[in-house]
Copies of this chain bind each other. A is one copy, B any other.
Amino acid sequence: MNTKSEARMQKSECRSEPASGHHESYFWPEPPADGQLVITGSEARHIARVMRHKVGNMIGVVDGAGTEYEVELVEARAVRVAGRVLSTKSGAREPKHRVTIAQAVLKGDKLARVCEQATELGVTRIIPVQTARTVGRLSAAKLERLRAVSLAALKSSTRTVLPRIDVATELGELLATSSEFDQVLVAYEEETGPGMGEVLDRKAASVLLVVGPEGGFEPAEIDALQAAGAVSFSLGPRRLRAETAAVAVAAMALGLLGDLG
């Protein structure tokens, strides 16, 4: 641990993952009123009971929309935590580019892993997509879980923007909204042409990356994507599982755009 974070840890009595030298933020989507932030529910319980924060402690709170507050606690009970906002910062530690992943719904817990890792990497939005070869569907409970996993990843990664995770969307609906993005790229396993590095527009402010299900896209789906302006690219001659492809394309895109280093 370096001395800067040591000092911060002592100041806040933060007990999460001390070896990492980082500070966990808390999440509260509502804005402060009269310079004071009031937190209730499970997050208050977490702050006061689990993390044992006391009156006078300093904590960091993010609203999930890009704003973070430095807060000095004036009340620290399991049912209610309140604090004075000492400083407000916007957009810290967030990528400059908006990268959205449209990921075909996957079996089991794979989509949760994609949401977790994509959140850490800096993805802005995740759109679960129903495609022709999608196995299973995204229940309301599962969507709830994806959002919870993403929130946990926001905290552990010290992000300030919580990625939006859409309800499951038909591929046709996705295509209808594709003009919202400066560029749409699709990872296609039958593509033998260019890799992402050759097609990604470095000047795009927003990119939609489309990744298929375990069984891949049907040719007609690729045709429809391309007709809507999507550019297909190759991830090489090896076969990647969908969740590996999703994390790889997120890392490659954010890396190439200069948002991962």
Residues of A within 8 A of B (CB): 2, 17, 19-22, 92-93, 95, 116-117, 120-122, 133, 156-159, 189-190, 194-198, 214-216, 219, 233-241, 244, 247-249, 251-252, 254-256, 258-261
Contact = CB atoms under 8 A, between A and B. Distances in A.
A74 B108 CA distance: 39
Nearest to A21: B216
A255 B196 contact: yes
A19 B133 contact: yes
Contact of A236 (B117, B244, B259): B259
A183 to B, nearest CB: 16
- Which 8 pairs across A and B sit closest by C-beta, in order of nearness? A195-B261, A19-B215, A248-B251, A93-B237, A252-B255, A157-B238, A234-B261, A251-B251
A92 B196 CA distance: 21
A133 B196 CA distance: 36
A261 B236 contact: yes
Given A20-B214, A196-B255, A121 B190 contact: no
A87 to B, nearest CB: 17
Given A22-B239, A122-B238, A157-B239, A261 B197 contact: yes
Contacts of A233: 261
A219 B4 CA distance: 13
B248 A216 contact: no
A216 B260 contact: no
Contacts of A244: 116-117, 120-121, 247
